[in-house]
Amino acid sequence: MMNIKRVISTIEKNYILSNLKKGERIDGRGLWDYRDWTVKCDVITSAEGSSEVTLGDTKVITGLKYEVGPPFPDLPNEGVCTFMAELLPLASPLFERGPPDEQSIELARVVDRGIRHADCVQTKKLCIKENEMVYILFVDIYVINYSGNLIDAGGISALSALISSQIPEGKWVDGNVEWTGNYLTGETIVNELPMVVTYGKIGDMIFLDPSLPEELVCDGMLSISVTENKLASIQKSGTATFSMEEIEMLVKKSMELAKKIIKELNLWQYKR
């Protein structure tokens, strides 16, 4: 099979880099501009929470399901929230059927780490009975169209699915779970609103939100998960190196961007 990345690199990398050095992008954006966002929630009727997020032409759908089960022995009064990502073949000719590959594992882990380390999900609110029974949440991210920067789109999709969730409330009665008829909502479960912000680097040029052509020729990428005032996690991929000065600059910029984007998207409007 033809190596698509090699062909694109040969043809386009110098063109993309020359534009970046002029402060321009091949799609008309500046170096620090996101593509347009859209968010829709409650798009999967059979899920307890769901969302569809587009970032430019990248589209991700996330669904949230649950079950109840015993807690981990070292966390007897905390529920569990797990993340999975699937790159559907319909999203891109670059994706194939089969077990999760490196890219899908990275997507799930980076989104998970940013949400977990930001103290986003209140796991103690997911405890039904200490040492006996807790909620286990499954947040499944499905890539519907791949046009670059799946991590940021996946992060917002996962967060909005959590916010829009409505989970039946259970109580522990005589050794069993009984349902009260009420619900745990995203307002109960979600505390902080973290956002993951991804940058690409080609040569010495750094830029926000790589599109697909840019992503395919990047030397490396850096994903920084932040709240308005706290760094949650950092993930680097590729061979590019980032100096401490560059990382400090990007963390500061990420906090500014996260505050702006979260306010513009107004994700709390999707709570039920």
Asked whether 267 and 39 are in contact (CB, 8 A), the reply is yes
> Which secondary-structure segment (H or E) carries 35?
none
Cα of 22 vs its chain's centroid, Å: 30
Domain hosting residue 80, numbered range: 13-270
Token pair recorded at residue 228: 């308005």
Element (H, E) at 62: strand 58-69
Radius of gyration of the chain (CA): 20
**Alpha-carbon gap, residue 171 to 35, rounded angstroms:** 45
Q: Residue 8: inside a domain, yes or no?
A: no
What pLDDT, on the 0 to 100 scale, is given for residue 1? Answer: 35
Q: What ranges in the chain are assigned the alpha helix state H?
A: 4-21, 102-117, 150-163, 186-189, 212-217, 244-265
Inter-residue contact 37 to 55 (CB < 8 Å): yes
Would 1 be classed as within a structural domain? no
The CATH number linked to 130 is 3.30.230.70
Structural domains in the chain (count)? 1
Report the C-alpha gap between 251 and 228 in whole angstroms: 11
DSSP 70: P
Q: What is the pLDDT of residues 47-65, one digit of tens each?
A: 999 999 999 999 999 999 9
Within a domain: residue 191?
yes
Asked, for residue 7, whether it belongs to a domain, the answer is no
Q: Which two tokens stand for residue 133?
A: 């029974």
Contacts of 209 (CB under 8 A, 6+ apart): 29, 33, 34, 35, 55, 56, 148, 149, 152, 198
What pLDDT does residue 2 have? 40
Instruction: Give the residues of the chain that fall short of pLDDT 50.
Output: 1-3
- Domain-located, residue 224: yes
**Residues facing 87 on adjacent strands:** 143
Q: Give the pLDDT confidence score for residue 228 in this predicted structure.
A: 84
Residue 241 to residue 37: CA distance in whole angstroms: 29
The answer to whether residue 159 sits within a structural domain is yes
Q: What is the DSSP letter of 36?
A: P
